[in-house]
Structure 1
Amino acid sequence: MGKRALQAGAVLVLVVLFTGVLILGGGGPGQNACAAVSADTAKAETAPAVEGYSGDQLVNAAAIMNAGAALGVNAKGQTIGVMTAMGESTLRNIEYGDTAGPDSRGLFQQRDTWGTLQDRMNPTKAATFFFERLVEVPNWETLTPTEAAHRVQINADPNHYTRFYEAAEKVVTTLAGGGDAACASTSVGGNAQDLAKGLTAKIDAGQITGLSPDHLREIRWIAEGKVVPNCGIDTRILQVITVTANTFEQVGISDINRLCTGQRPGAGSASMHVINGGGHAVDYYSLDRIPVTGADANSMKLLKILDPLMADGSGFGQSQCREAAGLTFPMQTPEFEDACNHFHVQVDGNGNQPMKLTNVS
């Protein structure tokens, strides 16, 4: 390893052997396998530059994403893979190493202990090697992207990849056709306890945080199989929170079941936080450690992901906040006014219409 961004080198042109979107489920608990590349080689080679990457570089990024999807690796993991190759080779399939690793080769600058030279110079094989090791890193999804990559690459500088992550996100989103919704909709199960267990792991890792009164304990009780009166959570809301936690590095939750805590702000007893046992809504106070308003960039990203997935009868709050910001757009899910100091998502507490998710177990 130890490879820094290189501007020159031989390029091996990858022939992408598919033309449609590939959506693969699986990948284990808590993982969200997502749509891979939808462009063929010609389209990738002629696509406009993304963050300075173009042509064969985007073709190589496509190969990385699809290798991850084939192993059930989620959108975050695929982004980490692209980020790592950016940091090792600028997404160019180089056929030489450096002083620290004279035998390093390919997109990930893998040394001869990783595999044959032929495999290391094959973008799909090289990416597969990377992802096979990534998923073996304990709690890799809760690590910072650069730390997760470092655990695989053992780079001299564990922070080396940090500066490439934002560009990797843009490349992945572009090549997936802006497919956040497709990514978020796969491999979200329908078992409440399993969902709660996955979310509890993210709480313990600090990815999901709460306020006072504590609503995260409601998730913990479900994970433990406890039935606490007036403290349940609608399975569909657990699915919403899971999609959110699979989308953002950090999720701040302020409210779930207000019957459990005795709160009655806003809509009072008519709130989906309260009616019919409560727990049919979730309020977010921050996403990626940035306070939300329902009209901020992260709220809008989540809204666009969730909108096509929501069950009939669902709703989003903060409609007037988005209208004031000029952020209205056609949606399938009804909106309503709510305070602009959080983002409210609810399902119909009087119905049981399912979420519009794919690959639900």
Structure 2
Amino acid sequence: MGGKGSIIAIVALAPILGVVVIVVVLFTIITGAGDDDAAAATCGATGTVSGTAVAVQEGRLPAKVGPYSGDQVKNAAAIISIGKQRGLTQHAQQTALMAAMTESTLNNLQGGDRDSAGLFQMRPSQGWGTHAQVTDISYATTEFYERLVKVPGWDSMNPGEAAQAVEGSAFPDAYATKSAYAVEMMNALSGVTVSTVSQTTEGATCIAGAASGAAAGGTNNALVGGEQPATGPHAAQINQVIGFAKQQLGKNYVLGGAGPNVWDCSGLTKVAYAQIGINIDAGHSATTQWRNGVARGQMHPLSEAQPGDLIFWGGNDAWHVGISLGGDMMIAAPKVGDVVKIQKVWGTPNGQVWRPADGI
């Protein structure tokens, strides 16, 4: 990373047999598969790295993709999954993969040139975060994406140029040599999604107990940018609701869809709350869910929305609903032609939210 003074050894790219065709890959999620690594993921002690940071949620990781294997493939899956969770394009995901392939060969390195560390060889002394943070896969990847989307015109640059705009390398042409590998990785990981569990209490995504929740087969407790942790006596149940919803990320919106592979807004909220035994709707309607919340006396001001609360649009005849992630973030199945995704709360929602957990 030139602006950070990193030194990159440029290795000649081996000849690639055949023609690599860049295709638009729909990252469908195959429900049901798992990985014991989820049980090993833990929050570490401050300033340390411990446990396994990446846990497979759905699909199965290939043993090897191109020259990469093992943790390298897991780390690539994390980069792709976090990009998807943030609603970013495959162009952004390819850019991040090429940056990490160049900077660290997809290894979460504890050191590098001067104080560079992590997948993207970020330097704490240059304002990228503490050493514990830049070696936290979720933090580092999120930080890369956040800086990428602030680069003017990044989405019209080729991925190598966009990676250089973020990294500021002394070897700006190195990123382009990883383009074919990045496309191969994206194709190989179609159908795979992973969760990331913070490796340090300094990271922004560490929640005590996240590993045990993932191992239990229902939650993805890694926080994304802007998301707030669930708190209070029902935090575990709320994490289960949100975790289930996150497992649906990337699945298509279909009107009337209530899983397992397609969803509409009220179908997602209904089935997510069914995971903790709360029936929010005998039928399947945002309107009914709004009115049920009012009838049960479990409404709260929008300004006090907490993770897990249901946010509505349309007044008493509500036509849309999403699940709050705290602050101005939510997860929802938005509309025809879209997919389940994490997004900012938009427009003018109803002035109250429903907190079904009040009934626990």
- TM-score, with structure 1 as normaliser: 0.40
Greater C-alpha Rg: 1
| Greater relative contact order (CA < 8 Å, ≥ 6 in sequence) | 2
More strand by share: 2
Q: Could you say which structure has the higher helix fraction?
A: 1
TM-score normalised by L of structure 2:
0.40
